[in-house]
Amino acid sequence: MVVRTVLCVAEKPSIAKAIANHLGDQVTTHNIQSNPYVKNYEFDYTFPQWGHCSVTMTSVLGHLLSHEFESRYKSWTSCDPSALFDARIEVFVGSNGKPIADNIKRHARRADVLYIWTDCDREGEHIGTEIRSVAAQSNQTLGRAGGTVRAHFSNIERAHIIHAAQHPTDLDEAQADAVASRIELDLRVGASFTRHLTLSLRPVLHRGNLSEASRLISYGSCQFPTLGFIVERYLRVRNFISEPFWGIKLMYQKAGISVNFSWARKHLFDRMIAVILYEWCLTSQTAQVQKVKTKPTSKWKPLPLTTLELQKCGSRFLGMDSQKVLQLAEKLYQKGWISYPRTETDQFDQAMDLRGLVQKQAQGGRWASYAAALVEGGFSWPRNGHNNDKAHPPIHPVNFVNPTMLSHEEQCVHEFVVRRFLACCSKDAQGSKTDISILYGPEIFNASGLVILERNYLDVYVYDRWGNQELPPFIEGEVFEPTEAILSEGKTSPPGYLTEPDLLALMDANGIGTDATMADHIVTIIHRQYVEAKAQPRQARHGNDEEGSEELPTQAIVGNSRRGRTTAARRGAGRNSGAGRGGAVTGVREFIPTTLGVALVEGHENMGFETNLTKPFLRKEMELKMKAICNGQTTKARVVNETIEQYRGVYTRMQQHPDVLRRAARKYVFGEVN
């Protein structure tokens, strides 16, 4: 019987090692020349469709191919930057990747099948086609139909890997084309605008004490809109004019409980009217209970965990930046403890054995007894969100690991993933809510109370808060004399600087980057010295009208629904503009633009056309076209041509306003008003 030879290639060395140990009974390990990270693992395995096979499992280190303009375009003065929209691009294996490519070609010569084990996402599909193209250089059969297959997997748990090995699929050429178009567009657009902006501002920026990094104005179609969000919020904060308001605070002490009633009008911006209404209330002396309504209420358990939600929660609850959280989750995935951490899906497939996954977490950890209780009868199927990328399930634990085997940071992320998963498999918290309305003079005041009856998921998901708010008994028609009635005065306050969770939400809503790349774009604009990240003061309250009120939700901040005006006064931008707000800090980062960052955004705004580079519209449209390629609705060539023409139009309009950016740079970077 002929033994077939199968060459398996994973995206990372750790994944290759794990898969080889799952599939092979006796695995032999070999080093490759000139690369200490990539190994070859040799073993025998019986595939249902090919029979007994000799297998070599190896890996790449991410993308195998590099893309650059041909050598005659390397000098920045060799051509007008717009020539890069059409310049020839060379695709080649870089010097660092050459030993890896040579290893693949050497083993591909005698392979009957090339089996791709890259991550099951767009980027993984494209890396798979890169591996195939390199392998086909020494064995053309692997480049033909049936010569290359791919495994579909979302974690490296043994049973899951064996199932994937026995059910190969084809590479998704459409997804690979989408990534190929993005790579080409990012290179062409990024290089042309980077050269144009840098050369245009060089006469201005060379005067200052700026670092070399600041003198290079690097453009990226995701980085600039991200900077635009930060600058827009910064200017709203700096230009906000506070306005005074007045309200009535009412308190009644009954049965040893102080009940604070809120005014139905909230507050008024006319002091005279507020005083008149306050005096009418005092004249009445007594208040009467108009309505008492008690009803059951629930606090819903969280949705299954997506990449974006993991990054936002990591910032809010774990005190880690989004890039760090994702890196740690990737390590946990590669070690086999959690599922693939790059997913947009927030609904579990009904065929998944979630009870079995919960059972594994009953083996130990601070949540063990809770997990055991779920298995014994407290289990409830998770809520379904609205997103399903059809590639990976929500992030969840796949095996039990003793926390002592993990680093401190890994423990934090792993514990969050486990607690989130157990919360998803729990029942909603249940309570009883009482709403009271009273009439005091001509005015209505309200109070609410809450009694928690069943904590359920709150017992394991320690990141949510839902506390009892005790109320004494009231009956409709009851009359009482308020203990305290005060005419309070306050003033509107600006929104806060943009925090990392809010910035991620804005990027997601506007199609800027993917859930896996958003954190990288934030890191890039910090590295480019367009913005600075600072720890948010714990006592800071932004966008609030009254002391002690809760922070505004993102929608209110973004929508500018608070009372207040902006002014055309000069912006006081600066690298230290966030300083001076004392108090303890939280782990949540907030972003403040540098003077250069503000100048770039203001300069583009002052050019006066809507589709400028700091707005999200062009990139969002590009992302929609990427999805259309994946869905088979358009082609790579068409998307590249259409998008290049859009950016060419922007470039032409920018050339017609050469001094606008320079004026903004002189104004903000050097403080020259005129």
Which residues belong to the active site? 340
Is 645:185 a contact under the CB 8 Å cutoff?
A: no
Q: How many residues does the chain have?
A: 674
Is 81:195 a contact under the CB 8 Å cutoff?
A: yes
Q: Which residues face 8 on adjacent strands?
A: 57, 115
* Pairwise CA distance, residues 42 & 395, whole Å: 31
| Tally: H helices and E strands in the chain | 20, 18
**Exposure letters 79-98 (e unless 16+ CB within 10 A, then b):** eebbebbebeeeeebeeebe
* Pairwise CA distance, residues 531 & 574, whole Å: 10
**Exposure letters 210-249 (e unless 16+ CB within 10 A, then b):** eeeebebbbbbbbbbbbbbbbbbbbbbbbbbeeeebbbbe
* Pairwise CA distance, residues 589 & 157, whole Å: 35
Question: Quick one: DSSP state of residue 552?
Answer: P
The continuous run of DSSP H or E covering 437 comes out as: strand 429-440
- Whole-number CA gyration radius for the chain: 30
Name 320's Cβ contacts closer than 8 Å, sequence gap at least 6: 314, 328, 409, 412, 413, 587
Q: How would you write 322-363 as a 3-class SS string?
A: HHHHHHHHHHHHHCCCECCCCCCCCCCCCCCCHHHHHHHHHH
* Pairwise CA distance, residues 655 & 517, whole Å: 31
Q: Give residue 634's identity as a one-letter amino acid code.
A: T
Q: How would you write 249-279 as a 3-class SS string?
A: EEEEEECCEEEEEEECCCCECCHHHHHHHHH
Q: Give residue 231's identity as a one-letter amino acid code.
A: V
Token pair listed for 220: 């990226």
Q: Give the three-state DSSP class for 667.
A: helix
How many other C-beta atoms lie within 10 A of the C-beta of residue 593? 31
User: Could you tell me the CA-to-CA distances from 396 to 222, 307, 347, 463, 507 in Å, in that order?
Assistant: 29, 11, 11, 17, 24
User: Residue 600: is it exposed, middle or buried by C-beta count within 10 angstroms (0-12/13-18/19+)?
Assistant: buried
Token pair listed for 342: 């790059």
User: Could you tell me the CA-to-CA distances from 468 to 417, 431, 450, 552 in Å, in that order?
Assistant: 27, 9, 5, 22
Cα dihedral sign, 228-230-234-237 = positive
Cα dihedral sign, 101-106-112-115 = negative
Q: Which of 486, 557, 465 is nearest to 262 (CA)?
A: 486
Q: Which residues face 251 on adjacent strands?
A: 260, 484
* Pairwise CA distance, residues 407 & 591, whole Å: 29
Q: Which residues face 294 on adjacent strands?
A: 434
User: Could you tell me how far CA 67 lies from the centroid of its own chain?
Assistant: 27
Is 195:217 a contact under the CB 8 Å cutoff?
A: no
- 400 Rama sector, left if φ>0, alpha if ψ -120 to 50, beta otherwise: beta
